[in-house]
Structure formats: C-alpha cells, structure tokens
Structure 1
Amino acid sequence: MSFKHLFSRALSANPDRLHFAAHSHHLWPDASYDAQVEAWEDAAQLADLKWGRIMGPVWEETQGHIARELKLPDPSTIAFSPNTHDFLVRIFSAISKRPVRVLATDGEFHSFRRQMARWVEAGEAVLVNAPADELVATAEAGGVDLIFASQVLFNSGAIIGDLERLAALAKPDGPWVVVDGYHGFMAIETDLSAVANRIFYVSGGYKYAMAGEGICFLHAPPGFAPRPVVTGWYAAFEDLALPPGAVGYAQDGGRFLGSTFDASGLYRFNAVRRTLDAEELTTGKISAHVEALQLRFVGAAAMSGFELLNPLDSGPHARFLAYRGQGAPSLHAKLEANNVITDVRGDVLRIGFGIYQDAQDVDRLVDILRSI
C-alpha cells in the first residue's frame, strides 16, 4: 500500500531522493502547504484581529487533536510553544529549591543534556543519569526533585514503557515527572488517561506529527507548578482576588505559555490531522505500515559490522532502526552521496520509515547498500 499521494509536493521537489529520515525531518504532507497559505491569508484579512481566531478555534482544534491522540481527559491542560526547551526551562524555574536534584536516562537529547550540564556547572542542579532499564528502580529509591525521561530514546529507539510506576512517584510538592514524548507522539499508540493527573508530557510536530517546526506542546497536570518563574504575558490571568501588582497565572495549561509566536504551525498541524482522519490513518495503522517496511528491510539488508540496537519484536517499536558500528559516519556519507537521506549520531546510523515510503523504496535502499 502507498500513501505517496499525500506527499506529492515534497516528493516531486526531489524525485530521485530516498528520504529515510522520517524520524528526523519528516516530509510534509500536501495539506500543510495549504495550511501555511491559510495562516497567511488569515493574517492578511484579519491583521491584529487574527489572534482572536488563533487563540480561539485554531488553538482549540489543535488541543482537541492532541488530547484525543493521547487520551487526555481535558484539552485545556495543553499549552503551546515554538520548542520543547521553553517548557523545560519553565518547569525547572517552578521548583523553588536549589540545587534541583534531577534524575534522567543516560540517553536524553542534546538540548536537555546541554542545558542540564550548564545548570550543574552553575550550581543550579545535581544530575544523576541512569540506564533506561534502571530508571524506574532508581527513581523509586527517592531523593530527587525532577525525573526526566524520553518515552522513546532518540539514539537507540529504546522505549520507556512503565510510565505508571513513574507517575505513582509524582506529587505536587515533588518529585515531578516529565516525559519527553518527541519520538513517541504519533509514532506509538499512547494512552495517558491513567497518568494525566500526575505527569508532564512534552512533544511537537517536527517528526511523526508531520507538521514541521514551531508547533510544540506541553500537557501540564493540574496542581503541579502553578506559578513558573520564567513566564510570558500570554500566561497572564486576571484574578481579582490577587493583591495589586501580583503576578497572576492561568489555572490550566496556559500557565506555561510564553509570548508572541508564529502560529502557522498550529494551522499545519490541524490540516495534517484532518487529512489523516479523512484517510482513516490512525497511529496504529501508520505504525503497521512502517513495521512492514522495517521487516522487509531487516530481512533483505546485510548490515555487516553493525549491531541493530532496537530489534523488531512483538511490542511497540520506534519508527527508526538504530544500527551501531564504527562505520556509521562513513556509510551515512556514502548514502547521502547516492541521494539517500538517513542520519548519524556518533557511531549509530538511524534509518527512519514513514507513510511516504513503500516496498519499492525499501528495495531501492537495499540495492544501494549492496552497491556501496
């Protein structure tokens, strides 16, 4: 089965390319182009009044799509920002004690690692890293204020599956649990209904949501971090019970908002979700399509000198295959020279799969690998 018709603009822009980096910069569906134009036209027609539309029906539609995808009981717990780093900074700012004792996996993304290293350097944080399979047990031993873990680790594809045990540790007065869902959202079926009142969840549209940059979101559990120190004027809340001059906050996810932003990502995300709904393409169906391609590749490709870090098994699987080997940078460069886009992280070559690929694309990739 092929869904290439949904990506005709992106595919025709470079027709000879094999783009096996859906886990990185996912190609954009045609619907996102029309949505970008819609955002421009709204700005032209409405000018200053566009914010009533953006912060009203456009905003609420995006919240609704995300809440349904994650089985969140209340869409109003969702806030938006251009990137997830903004949310990390605001959550951290809301913890009053210093240094903040942080527990994380040893496979978190560069943005988290860099910021945390700087906070440690400045005396703002104390960091403990644990292997992914030891994270929950380490967290249960106590002694931390913030637990941060990716749902799917960006480098290896390992999945942190026991969110309920982590969530059981979370309390409004600490510790707080933050799940980075960037490689999980719309990649593996995720039901947060049982833990929505205890964990923070961050993700965005750059990868499997197919909506590009600038559309990241946070689900903030009620009662946790009511007054982030790092804040923007969009988080303001007019509470007449506050003393004069006091800083008010929205009572829902809006308490984590910043300031003026580019709203076109909201339009793109909504358009992509409407397209998927019209095509009856759920995350489960897309994952099944991807898994079939992954199985075809693993069955045909001879990756001599490489170890597959995330073998295909019966459980949920990342949308990419992570191959570790000393030759990863060289192979990545050779593939790029053949107009095959993958990505490399140190000695790990990641090959990502999406719904704009079909069996013929996999076969072409296998042939190219054999030739080089």
Structure 2
Amino acid sequence: MSFKPLFSRALGLAPGRLHFAAHSHHLWPNASFEAQQHAWDEANRHADRKWDQIFGKVIPEAQAQVAAELGLPDPNTVVFAPNTHDFLVRLVSGVAHSPVRILSTDGEFHSFRRQAARWEEAGQVVVERVPLQPFDTFPDRFVQAARAGGHDLILVSQVFFRTGGVFDRIADLAELARPEGPWVVVDGYHGFMATPTDLSEVADRVFYVSGGYKYAMSGEGGCFLHAPDGFCPRPVVTGWFAEFGELAGPPGGVGYRADAGRFWGATFDFTALYRFNAVRRMLTEAGLDTSAVADHARGLGVRFQKALTAGRAGALSQAEILNPIGDEAARARFLALRHPDAPAWRETLLEAGVVSDVRDDVIRFGFGLYQDEGDVEALMQRAERAL
C-alpha cells in the first residue's frame, strides 16, 4: 500500500529524488504544512495573548500525544525544548557535586558526545564509556557496568544512531535509579515513533528524551523530555518559563515546579508543536499507529536487504549489514551498511538522485511512509547503474 498522498507536497518539490534518509531528515507530510500556516495565523490573531493558546491548548495536546505514544501515566511529566542538548545541560547542572560521574557508551549522538568531551576538558565530569562493539555482548556489559555503581548519571541510546543496534535493557537500569542518584537517561531519538515503546513500567524512574525531527515527521524545534517526579528537582540551568505554576523551594530561594515544568527553558518558537500535533492527528485519521508504520518500513527494508544479499544493488552488496532484519523484535528504521567506500558511495548515489547518509564507514538507508515497493526497486536499479 502507498501512503504517498500524505506527502504529496514534499514529494512534488523534488519528483526525481529517491529519499532514503527518513532516519536522518524525515520528509514532512502535508498536514505539517497546514499546521505551519495555522501557527502563523494564531500568533497574529491572538498576538500578545498567543501564549494563552500555546500553554492552554497546544502544549497540553502535545504532552498527551507523547504520553500516549510512550505509555506514560501522566502527561505532566513531559516538557519541551528546541533541542535535546538543552535538556542534557539542565540535567547535568542538577547534580549537586562536581565532577559529575557519568556512565555512557562510545556510540552516543553528537549532542552528548561533544558536550561530554568538553565537560571532561573542563574537569566538570568524568565519563566511563562502554564500547558498543561487539554489540552482541553490549547490553550485558553495559548493565554490568551500571550495576557496579559509582555513577551520578547513566545515559544510553534506545537505538544507536550509527549502527542501528537496539538496547533492550531499560528495565534493568530502572532498577538502579534513585532520586539521589544515579539518574537514568534514555536517548530515544531513534526509537520514538520508530518502534513501539512502552515506558509504563519504568516511567517513575527513567528520563526519556527525543524529538520530532525524525520519525515524528514534524521537523526540528520540537524536542521533549519525560522527567520522573522527584528526580533532579532543581536544575541549576533554568529558564523563566519554569517560574509558572505551583512552585516549591527553600524560603527566599529560586522556586521550581514539581512536575516536568521544572525543566522549562525560556522563550522559543513553538511552531514545531503545531506540526507535531497535526502529524499525530493525521496518523489517527489514516488509521496508522507506530506499529503499522514500523511494519510498512520493515517490509521495504526486507525487500532491500534481499536485494543486497542477492547482489542486486551494485557495490552496496559488498557491505556488511550491521543490523540485518531478522525476527519481529524492536529495531531501527534503517539498514546500516559498513564498508570503507561508504562515503564515496553516498556521494555517487547523491549524484544519481538517491539520498542516503553516511557516518564514518557506515552508509545508512532509512524507510518510511512516503516510500513504496516501487521506490525500493528504483533504488536497487540506480545503485546497480551508479556503483
């Protein structure tokens, strides 16, 4: 089945392009265009009072949508920011001593990787990084390191952005989480709306951070944090939005909300949340949930994987598939292919009208609703001709 009509605007702007980077910059559906216009209209219709509309309607709807997607018992544990980096900085600032002791991996996204390296240079944090490779033993090794103790913060990706490996031991980490530390933070950017995710059993102990740029199909600027009650109650880095609501704190000191609003920053453009809400409504109207979208993407991925193993995708067939599609377990929405020529392949394919992306020696092909089987066939044909 083809869902291309939902993306006719984006597809029509580059009709000859084969966009297989849904995991990187997901194309936006038509509903998001209409939401963008609606945000402009409301900002000018309500003018100074637009914040009543945003905080009274737009944000509660977005909180409810995130909570429904993740199985969160309370939408008020969700707060928004322009990017996930903002949340990481606020979380680390809330640790009461220095240096902050962090357990993580050597495969985290750059928002954490770069900031952590700079914190280390400044003597503000000490980071223990568990290697991803070999990945078949990684979950056990990471949980073992976490159980060894001595950490203030434990941060790990749900799905690793480079390799597509899935970490399925969040519940084991949640058992270790305490309000006094360690705090467990899951980077869910490649998991949220990519694969069904139920945090209902760990929501009271685990932070979860993600956003709309990828599988939520709503673009940049709309990131969120699920923050369990009682954990990091007074982040040092704080914005004036966190002053609104019922505040608690020391007499004469800076007050904070008890819910996720304690992590609010300051003024930013909320247009992304209009887009996010519109996309979620679009999916509901189309009878689609994350499971159905993931099944569609899996089918396209299986078709491409079969072509790779059959030698029907040019030189791409020489690559090692780091995350082959096997059983029905949760997985990334992309295939990661490792080969020394990956960067050159990406450039050659781009000249042939095929958009993928590359991380070091790994070229990635992502799948989404705006592709169908015909696009996969065209991908294989162009790869055979170009490589």
**TM-score range relative to shorter protein:** over 0.9
The aligned runs of 1:248-259 (5 Å cut-off) are: 248-259=255-266
Matched AA of 1:110 = H
Residues of 2 paired with 1:34 and 1:340: CA distance? 28
Matched, 1:329 2:343: yes
Separation in 2, partners of 1:265, 1:110: 22
Q: Judging changes above 3 Å, is the alpha-carbon distance between structure 1 residues 35 and 241 closer, same or farther for their aligned structure 2 residues?
A: closer
Is it true that 1:342 corresponds to 2:349 in the alignment?
no
Partner of 2:173: 166
Distance 1:162 1:213 in 2: 29
Q: Give the CA deviation at 1:143.
A: 1.2
Is 1:318 paired with 2:332?
yes
Read off the aligned partner of 2:50 and give its amino acid letter: K
Cα displacement string for residues 121-142 of structure 1 (whole angstroms, at most 9, x for unaligned residues)? 1000011110341211111111
Secondary structure of the 1:25 match is coil
**For residues 240 and 172 of structure 1, what CA distance do their matches in structure 2 show?**
19
The structure 1 segments of at least 4 consecutive aligned residues displaced by more than 3 Å after TM superposition are 237-245
Q: In structure 2, what is the Cα distance between the partners aligned to 1:151 and 1:316?
A: 10
Query: What SS is found at the alignment partner of 1:293?
Result: helix
1:223 partner SS: coil
Query: Which deviations, in whole Å up to 9, do the C-alpha atoms of 1:48-98 show, x marking residues without a partner?
Result: 100000011111000000000000000000000000000000000000111
1:370 and 1:269, CA in 2 relative to 1: closer, same or farther beyond 3 A?
Answer: same
What residue in structure 1 maps to residue 99 of structure 2?
Answer: 99
Partner of 1:76: 76
Q: TM-score, normalised by structure 1?
A: 0.98
- Distance, in Å, in 2 between the alignment partners of 1:176 and 1:243 is 23
Q: Distance in 2 between matches of 1:293 and 1:305?
A: 20
Deviation at 1:105, TM superposition (A): 1.5
Corresponding position of 2:135? none
- The one-letter code of the counterpart of 2:281 is R
TM-score by length of 2: 0.94
Change (3 A) 1:162 1:241: closer
Q: 1:97-176 to 2 correspondence within 5 Å?
A: 97-132=97-132, 133=138, 134-176=141-183
Residue pair 1:36, 1:268 contacting (<8 A) in 2 also: yes
1:20 aligned onto 2:33: no
2:8 equivalent in structure 1: 8
Give the counterpart letter for 2:131 in structure 1. Answer: P
Q: For structure 1, which runs of at least 5 residues remain unmatched after alignment?
A: none
Q: Is the 8 A contact 1:238 1:248 kept in 2?
A: no
Question: Is the alpha carbon distance of 1:43 and 1:169 closer, same or farther for their aligned partners in structure 2, counting shifts above 3 Å?
Answer: same
1:292 aligns with 2:305: no
CA deviations over 1:145-192 (Å, ceiling 9, x no partner): 110000000000000101100110100000000000000000010000
Aligned to 1:308: 321
The residue identity in structure 2 corresponding to 1:228 is P
1:53 matches 2:53: yes
1:309 and 1:144 mapped to 2: Cα distance? 30
Amino acid at match of 1:189: P
Cα–Cα, structure 1 residues 160 and 29, in superposed 2: closer, same or farther, change >3 Å?
same
How do 1:148-227 residues align onto structure 2 when only pairs under 5 Å count?
148-227=155-234
CA-based RMSD? 1.2
Matched letter for residue 58 of structure 1: V
CA contact (8 A) 2:244 2:257 kept: yes
SS across alignment from 1:147: strand
* Conserved 8 A contact 2:90-2:237: yes
Report the Cα distance in structure 2 between the residues aligned to 1:245 and 1:86, rounded to whole angstroms.
Answer: 26
Aligned-pair identity in percent equals: 58
Distance 1:104 1:96, change over 3 A: same
CA contact (8 A) 1:102 1:146 kept: yes
Query: Whole-Å Cα distance in 2 between the matches of residues 270 and 237 of structure 1?
Result: 23
- Equivalent residue number for residue 282 of structure 2: 275
- The code of the aligned residue for 2:172 comes to R
Letter in 2 for 1:33: F
